[in-house]
């Protein structure tokens, strides 16, 4: 992990490895208790999922996928002894902004207790995958998640802690779409982070992935 969490958080991680497993289980169970109105769910049930931008406009489609997704799988390089150096993916809740106002930046709320944060402290390079399979778009059209028609994106970059200036944006983006986050135990030392995107692949049609540059991606609007 780039930034001030490096080092001290690693020591913390080592000391807290066993409780971390318990914490992870608690996290998995928690949403069942305190479920708020999650946005893509609301979009789905209310039939309000915005229409997919034209597939020939790859940057807009990529921004659309990022914006409507509430979670993704983040792959890091493992530091666990049994699988050291192997790719290791875990599910992460994320948000690029309030509904209808996405910035394109995937923000995360992370704890040093998470295995993937330990991995990131050793190597901040990571790859995030998000798919419209988590919305009703693919089910409605009968697209299998592996079909490129079920649009999905692969974003590589480095995970960095957000600075003081950006914390408010990250917090607002995440808490409005993941209301239970504000009740996550403060003892877990949660902090805001983001993916600094360097490479983008979009799969939204046959013929192989489309490359979108970060410049094109941030310049586009998903509407
Ligand atoms: C904080 O991060 C933002 C976004 O990366 C950047 O524009 C800004 O200059 C940074 N502020 C400081 C004080 O480093
Ligand atoms: C984001 O990545 C770019 C390209 O690797 C790099 O130049 C920039 O310093 C990074 N920004 C942060 C906040 O890490
Ligand atoms: C940025 O967006 C504008 C308006 O959609 C477009 O005309 C322009 O080509 C885009 N530039 C880049 C670098 O993608």
Residue 51 lies in a domain: no
Residue 48 lies in a domain: no
User: Residues 6 or more apart from 148 whose CB is under 8 A from it?
Assistant: 203, 204, 205, 206
User: What is the 128 CA–ligand 2 centroid distance (Å)?
Assistant: 16
Neighbours of 163 (CB within 10 A): 11
Alpha-carbon gap, residue 223 to 221, rounded angstroms = 6
Q: 75 and 23, same structural domain?
A: no
Ligand 1 pocket test: which of 103, 163, 194, 218 has the largest number of ligand atoms within 8 Å of its C-beta?
163
Q: 64 and 22, same structural domain?
A: no
> In this predicted structure, what is the pLDDT of residue 151?
98
User: In Å, what is the CA distance from 53 to each residue of 58, 73, 105, 148, 168?
Assistant: 9, 23, 19, 15, 29
Ligand 3 pocket test: which of 219, 220, 221 has the largest number of ligand atoms within 8 Å of its C-beta?
219
b/e sequence 24-50, b meaning 16+ C-beta within 10 Å: eeebeeeeeeeebebbbeebbeeeebe
Q: 129 and 25, same structural domain?
A: no
**Span 29-87, pLDDT tens digits:** 333 333 334 444 456 555 678 899 999 999 999 999 999 999 999 999 999 999 999 99
CATH number for the domain harbouring residue 103 = 2.30.110.10
Instruction: Tell me which residue has its CA closest to atom 13 in ligand 3.
Output: 216
Over residues 169-188, the mean pLDDT reads: 97
Average pLDDT, the chain: 85
Residue 131 lies in a domain: yes
| 214 Cβ below 6 A of ligand 2 | no
Report the pocket of ligand 1 as residue ranges, CB < 6 Å: 163, 165-166
Instruction: Tell me which residue has its CA closest to atom 10 in ligand 2.
Output: 196
Q: 186 and 106, same structural domain?
A: yes
Q: 94 and 8, same structural domain?
A: no
Confidence (pTM): 0.82
Which ligand 2 atom is nearest residue 196's CA?
1
Ligand of minimum distance to the alpha carbon of 1: 2
Q: Please name the residue that has the structure tokens 């409005």.
A: 176
Instruction: Tell me which residue has its CA closest to atom 10 in ligand 3.
Output: 219
Task: Identify whether the C-beta of residue 209 lies closer than 8 Å to the C-beta of residue 202.
Answer: yes
The angle subtended at Cα 146 by Cα 142 and Cα 149, nearest 5°, is 55
Residue 44 lies in a domain: no
Q: 4 and 112, same structural domain?
A: no
Q: 98 and 23, same structural domain?
A: no
Residue 119 lies in a domain: yes
User: What is the 195 CA–ligand 2 centroid distance (Å)?
Assistant: 10
Residue 72 lies in a domain: yes
Residue 43 lies in a domain: no
Q: 95 and 15, same structural domain?
A: no
Q: 62 and 26, same structural domain?
A: no
> In this predicted structure, what is the pLDDT of residue 15?
45
Q: 76 and 2, same structural domain?
A: no
Residue 24 lies in a domain: yes
Domain that holds residue 67: 58-219
Which ligand 2 atom is nearest residue 160's CA?
14
Task: Please tell me the total count of domains within the chain.
Answer: 2
Using a pLDDT cut of 70, give the percent of the chain over it: 78
Q: 19 and 86, same structural domain?
A: no
Q: 119 and 81, same structural domain?
A: yes
| 125 Cβ below 6 A of ligand 2 | no
Residue 1: pLDDT band by 50, 70, 90 thresholds?
low
pLDDT of 24 > 90? The answer is: no
């Amino acid at each position: 992990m780039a930034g001030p969490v490096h080092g001290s958080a690693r020591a913390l991680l080592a000391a807290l490895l066993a409780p971390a497993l318990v914490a992870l289980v608690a996290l998995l169970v928690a949403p069942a208790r305190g479920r708020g109105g999650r946005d893509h769910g609301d979009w789905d049930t209310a039939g309000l999922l915005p229409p997919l931008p034209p597939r020939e406009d790859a940057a807009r489609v990529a921004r659309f996928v990022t914006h409507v997704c509430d979670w993704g799988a983040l792959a890091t390089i493992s530091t666990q002894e049994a699988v050291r150096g192997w790719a290791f993916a875990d599910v992460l809740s994320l948000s690029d902004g309030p509904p209808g106002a996405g910035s394109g930046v995937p923000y995360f709320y992370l704890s040093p207790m998470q295995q993937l944060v330990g991995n990131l402290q050793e190597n901040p390079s990571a790859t995030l995958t998000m798919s419209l399979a988590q919305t009703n778009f693919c089910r409605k059209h009968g697209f299998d998640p592996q079909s490129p028609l079920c649009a999905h994106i692969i974003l590589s970059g480095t995970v960095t802690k957000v600075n003081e200036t950006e914390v408010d944006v990250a917090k607002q983006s995440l808490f409005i779409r993941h209301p239970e986050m504000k009740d996550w135990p403060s003892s877990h030392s949660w902090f805001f982070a983001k993916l600094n995107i360097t490479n983008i692949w979009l799969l939204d049609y046959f013929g192989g992935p489309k490359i979108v540059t970060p410049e094109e991606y941030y310049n586009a609007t998903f509407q």
